[in-house]
């Protein structure tokens, strides 16, 4: 899901494939990421964010809670159980290698923003959150590894078969 707010160098966002957790917002600080539950606002988890900065972010989330609800608040993802050690793209297929050695691929066209992206943009995939998420900076897309493993996609498979 695209970024919904940039403020004080922080990026407030949701993931495109999130499941059925209570409503929350993710915040990327550049040095780390944290997640805050909404209604009531409270810290869900943090990785690499200093306590003083967490408090400032919490105050910002409290002040913008209604904005997050109005601007695409998504019901969210369970804690990350799956992690990737590598992500890459070949044409319009995106692949991840999990910590257990499995490799999983999916058509980029299964997600709205990736469907509209060029092959070059798709190839710019990076790992985030210690391998728990994929990020495409140029098109502002974030997808969880868990969602990929569990097959949570936004769009159906294309009706045309890809020749092997």
More confident residue, 157 or 1: 157
Distance, in Å, from the CA atom of 89 to the CA atom of 152, rounded to the nearest integer, reads 19
Q: For domain 84-149, say whether CATH 3.30.2020.40 is its number.
A: yes
d(CA 131, CA 14): 17
pLDDT in tens, 38-58: 878 889 999 999 999 999 999
Q: Where in the chain is the domain with CATH 3.30.2020.40?
A: 84-149
Contact at 8 Å (CB) between 111 and 18?
Answer: no
**Long-range contacts formed by 44-51: CB under 8 A, 24+ apart:** 45/79, 47/129, 47/130
pTM above 0.75, yes or no: no
């Amino acid at each position: 899901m695209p970024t919904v707010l940039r403020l004080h160098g922080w990026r407030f966002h949701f993931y495109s494939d999130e499941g059925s957790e209570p409503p929350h917002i993710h915040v990327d600080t550049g040095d780390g990421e944290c997640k805050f539950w909404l209604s009531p606002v409270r810290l869900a988890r943090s990785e690499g964010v200093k306590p003083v900065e967490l408090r400032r972010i919490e105050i910002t989330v409290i002040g913008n809670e209604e904005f997050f609800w109005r601007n695409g608040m998504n019901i969210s993802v369970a804690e990350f159980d799956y992690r990737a050690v590598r992500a890459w793209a070949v044409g319009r297929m995106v692949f991840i290698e999990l910590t257990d050695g499995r490799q999983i691929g999916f058509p980029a066209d299964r997600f709205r923003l990736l469907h509209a992206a060029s092959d070059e943009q798709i190839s710019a995939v990076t790992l985030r959150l210690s391998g728990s998420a994929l990020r495409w900076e140029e098109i502002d897309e974030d997808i969880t590894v868990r969602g990929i493993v569990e097959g949570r996609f936004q769009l159906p498979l294309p009706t045309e078969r890809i020749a092997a």
